[in-house]
Structure 1
Amino acid sequence: MEEEIIISGRMNAKVDPLLHIWGWEIAFYLFVGGLAAGILFFASFYYLRGKEKDYPATVKWAPLIAPFILVLGLGALFLDLHHKLYFWRLYTTVRLQSPMSWGAWTLLVITPLSVLWVATYIRELFPKWDWKFQWLYNLESFLISNRRVLAWVMVFYSVILGIYTGILLSAFNARPLWNTSILGPLFLASGLSAGAAVIMAFSKNKLERRHFSQLDLVIIGVELFFIIHLFMGLLASTEVQIEAAEMFLGGQYTLPFWIFVVFIGMILPAMLELLELRGQKIPVLIQ
């Protein structure tokens, strides 16, 4: 029998609860996960609409980075895990009521799916590409002939990828600011906006860039609508949620949020896109 002496009433290991603060890993994954979701959604959606030749950056070029940023995002999630050797337990069960389960299985599907999508265009984009093995050429031919099936699966899973993180955070009852059903659609809209921005950076087609510039303006408008209604919902809710909202409406996070997130992240890009649509020459990297 071991005797354990408690010398303090606070911060006793395995006795008192310890709050784990998320680091850069989670923030990084949330960004690249949403970005990948936006890129893959537009690639599959516009392919299904028959815009493959009209929007080459959307369907072919921008998806090239999706597998890499998804792998980087997964690596960041792995670094954040406390028990790294047991991550596989997420895949021993399916729990439909768990956003974490949905996210784990979605990442398991969409990461290789993004690789397969890129593989169907790789020799078209890089004519000197050599698969080395005949079975890879056979697989490529099979995937190209079933590209439409891939697109339908990818458009479905990309939406889940973009929305599940918001639903996951909204399930945290102990976080009043997150505990709102509007967080899922807001995260999806944010990912779509980031995806549209990357496509514009890749595109050399004036019509394609103009289309996504107009589309991004609509998405930014939707984001602002969601943010306004998020705060309206919080202010009409319980006392703790009102206090959470007030931290961004006159409290300590007011200036960082409204300057860096809303103005620099949404309003300024929207203004630049409007200027470009009106004929002004705006470098795409600035947008």
Structure 2
Amino acid sequence: MKEELFVSGRNIPNIDPFLNIWHWEIPLYLFLGGLAAGIMFFAGLFLVMGKEKEMETTVKWAPFLVPVALVVGLFALFLDLKHQLFFWRLYTTIRMESPMSWGAWTLMIITPLSFFWVASYIKEVVPGWKWRLPIFESFESLVIKYRKHIAWLAMGLAIILGVYTGILLSAFNARPLWNTSILGPLFLVSGMSTGLAAIIWMSKSHYERSVLSKIDIALIGVELFLIVHLFMGFLAANQVQVEAAHLFLGGEFTVTFWVFVMILGLIVPAFLETLELFGYKIPMWIPSLLILIGGLMFRFIMVEAGQITRYLY
């Protein structure tokens, strides 16, 4: 008698038993993209509002971080690419339905725009700065002349960039944790909050810190609202999304998410910023640092946990 053993199943490298493709480069890229978007948005906003003198750090100093954040983030993304020499093909077409196309073109515009912004203020920030070539002087004058127009463009691109960092994940709807439309606005609000945290840390003006802290407290409230509704949506959905939610509600990401993101990254900073507004002496680098660490942890957790969840078992 001939006996045969049939085994059915899958064993695809980097796919089974769970997705294992994105590592540290992607969450770092998402974090730095959100941080840059937040700083650029508020720099443009307060310039348009005519608050350039009152919000000097926001408009003049903090934007110096943006080109650095974008270049480092893009380098991290480049390291993650499988076919690095063919990245230019993203710029041979524009696909309105593709989040990757939106992100590529947005970064193509906002990155040089951030350098232009810095160049227009470098003489005010760095005394004695002189351009070696006359063409740079002429270009600087042109940028200063149209600075308000650039601010409006920067604000729009910053919003697109902030939303893109979340939609980049939600476009992978084969992963239950990422299959939600809340990720776009959630990552946008989180990026705005981290951008404010960086500005508050840099600022020495009590007035400026107070204004930004009020905005940040509101953003943290919105972020908490979106996170709560994210889990409500998962728990009211199908079985795989319920299981995805349970990764944070008793599963392996429970402690890291609730301690480092929710408590230390959102609730504690909001409480400290509120105390500062009521006149208590709070070193503002503490809530700022907590928000930045919480924002970074949030992206690492979402990328890692999202790869674990799947529909087919």
Per the normalisation by structure 1, the TM-score is: 0.93
Cα shift at 1:139: 0.5
> Secondary structure at the residue paired with 1:120?
helix
Q: What percent of counterpart residues are identical?
A: 60
- Alignment correspondent of 1:157: 157
Which residue of the partner structure matches residue 45 of structure 2?
45
* Structure 1 residue 59 corresponds to structure 2 residue 59: yes
1:171 maps onto 2:171 in alignment: yes
Cα distance in structure 1, aligned partners of 2:109 and 2:17: 35
Residue 140 of structure 1 is matched in structure 2 by 140
Greater CA drift, 143-152 or 167-176:
167-176
- 1: CA distance between counterparts of 2:66 and 2:44? 13
Higher relative contact order (CA 8 A, sep 6+): 2
Which residue matches 2:190?
Answer: 190
Q: CA 1:18–1:250 in 2, change beyond 3 Å: closer, same or farther?
A: closer
Q: CA deviation at 1:172?
A: 1.2
Q: Which residue does 1:36 correspond to in 2?
A: 36
TM-score by length of 2: 0.86
Count of matched residue pairs: 277
1:105-143 Cα deviation digits (max 9, x unpaired): 000000000000111111011121111111110110011
Q: 3-state DSSP class of the match of 2:72?
A: helix
The runs of 5 or more residues in structure 2 that have no matched partner are: 1-8, 288-313
Give 3-state SS (helix, strand or coil) of 2:286's partner: coil
* Distance across 1 between alignment mates of 2:249 and 2:10: 34
Aligned pairs for 1:134-283 (under 5 A) are 134-283=134-283
Between the aligned partners of 1:172 and 1:241, the Cα distance in structure 2 is 14
Residue aligned with 1:267, SS: helix
Counterpart for residue 4 of structure 1? none
Deviation at 1:17, TM superposition (A): 11
Partners in 2 of 1:148 and 1:169 — Cα distance? 33
Q: Corresponding residue for 1:3?
A: none
Query: What is residue 21 of structure 1 aligned with on the other side?
Result: 21
In 1, Cα distance between the equivalents of 2:82 and 2:49? 44
Partner of 1:5: none
- Deviation, 1:21, is 2.4
2:189 is matched by which residue type in structure 1?
A
CA distance in 1, matches of 2:212, 2:18: 46
Determine whether 1:82 maps to 2:82: yes
Alpha-carbon separation, structure 2, partners of 1:229 and 1:12: 34
CA–CA distance in 1 between the matches of 2:134 and 2:251?
63
| Cα displacement (A) at 1:20 | 4.0
Distance 1:232 1:49 in 2: 38
C-alpha distance in structure 2 between counterparts of 1:12 and 1:158, whole Å: 38
Cα drift, residue 270 of structure 1: 0.8
How far has the Cα of 1:23 moved from its partner? 1.0
C-alpha displacement of 1:286 = 1.1
Q: In the aligned structure 2, how far is the partner of 1:11 from the partner of 1:271?
A: 48
CA deviations 1:254-285 (Å, max 9, x no partner) are 11111111001101111111111121111122
AA of the residue aligned to 1:244: A
Residue deviations 1:55-76, cap 9 Å, x none?
0011111001100110000000
For residues 118 and 136 of structure 2, the distance between their equivalents in structure 1, rounded to whole angstroms, comes to 14
Opposite residue 231 of structure 1, the aligned amino acid is F
Provide the C-alpha distance between the structure 2 equivalents of 1:192 and 1:110, rounded to a whole number of angstroms.
16
Deviations 1:134-179 (A, max 9, x none): 1110110011001011111111000000001211211212210111
The alpha carbon displacement at 1:201 in A equals 1.1
Off by >3 Å, runs of 4+ in structure 1: 9-13, 16-20
Letter in 1 for 2:178: W
Report the AA paired with residue 108 of structure 2: L
Deviations 1:94-113 (A, max 9, x none): 00000000000000000000
Aligned-pair Cα RMSD in Å: 1.6
The one-letter code sitting in structure 1 at the alignment partner of 2:279 is G
Taking the aligned partners of 1:119 and 1:170, their CA distance within structure 2 comes to 36
1:269 & 1:137 partners in 2: Cα distance?
43
Which AA in structure 2 matches 1:218?
A
